[in-house]
Amino acid sequence: MVTDIAGYVASVFMRGLPFGFVPSSILAMVDASIGGKNGIDIGLYKNLVGTIRQPEFLLYDASLLKTLPKEEWVNGFAEIIKHASVKDAALFRELEKNRLAFYQKDKAALTKLIRRNVVIKSDIVQKDEFEQNERRLLNFGHTLGHAVENLYKLPHGHAIAIGMVVASMISEQYADFKNSDKLIEVLKRYGLPTLAEFDARKVMAVLKMDKKKEKDAINYILLNKIGHAIVKTIPIVQLEKMILSIINSR
């Protein structure tokens, strides 16, 4: 939220001032500082107003994480698990073996993990800054995640974790994916929620305002396998049915 608001204000004040970020949370280090999207929410709708303007510099210091509360570590790991799920199967296997406490204690492993995630995100952004192609894959878990985040006032990482679980289940029907159970296990391992009681109709009403909507369909990010994401255009009517059946089956 801090990088978004700072980046947004700097982008519009006097038609734009140079700015940079010194991220002090895992979430900001691996995700929010990188990419240049600076958005603010309007009511329930996430990032409805915003700019794309890149920071002039990013300055990282892992010692800033010494005072980070546990729930913010957990939040940040949702985006790390997302990166592994869409782009890096080897990283996913590493996450399956370790735990949060390991990265909290081992500074070298943590620094390596942050660097790897910075490279995953910045490579994608450099290839597709304006989200025409590959950058869309980074929205895995975010379509439904953003809707439940504001409706139920969930921490971003928790909402995204729930969004990834639903997207992985949709992937089992719409793509070749067979590993929802593995994703659920990793999310649990890092203290993230994997299901939530929510009202599918309310969620769909918010989801219909998603920026990725195209006429009566939404470009949903699915997994073919761990480490390989795809974009699938799903009609909203079909999506609603599927989300209802996923919720009712739990």
CB 188 within 8 A of CB 99: no
Shortest distance, position 4 Cβ to ligand GLY, whole Å: 6
Interatomic CA distance for residues 67 and 111, integer angstroms? 16
Shortest distance, position 216 Cβ to ligand GLY, whole Å: 27
Burial of 30 (0-12, 13-18, 19+ CB in 10 A): buried
Within residues 6-35, the interface with ligand GLY by CB under 6 A covers 32, 35
Interatomic CA distance for residues 171 and 121, integer angstroms? 22
Nearest 5°: the CA angle 30, 188, 87 is: 40
User: Which residue lies nearer to ligand GLY by CB, 84 or 175?
Assistant: 84
User: Which residue lies nearer to ligand GLY by CB, 32 or 200?
Assistant: 32
Which amino acid is it at 59?
Answer: L
Shortest distance, position 148 Cβ to ligand GLY, whole Å: 19
User: Which residue lies nearer to ligand GLY by CB, 3 or 171?
Assistant: 3
Shortest distance, position 11 Cβ to ligand GLY, whole Å: 11
User: Which residue lies nearer to ligand GLY by CB, 8 or 73?
Assistant: 8
Shortest distance, position 36 Cβ to ligand GLY, whole Å: 5
Pairing type for strands 45-52 and 37-42 reads: antiparallel
- 221 near ligand GLY, rule: CB under 6 A: no
Interatomic CA distance for residues 185 and 215, integer angstroms? 35
Which amino acid is it at 58?
Answer: L
DSSP bridge partners of 229: 223
Interatomic CA distance for residues 162 and 44, integer angstroms? 17
Interacting residue with ligand GLY among 8, 23, 26, 37 (CB under 6 A): 37
- 36 near ligand GLY, rule: CB under 6 A: yes
User: Which residue lies nearer to ligand GLY by CB, 139 or 180?
Assistant: 139
Total binding residues toward ligand GLY, as defined by CB under 6 A:
5
Residues of this chain that interact with ligand GLY (CB under 6 A) are 3, 32, 35-37
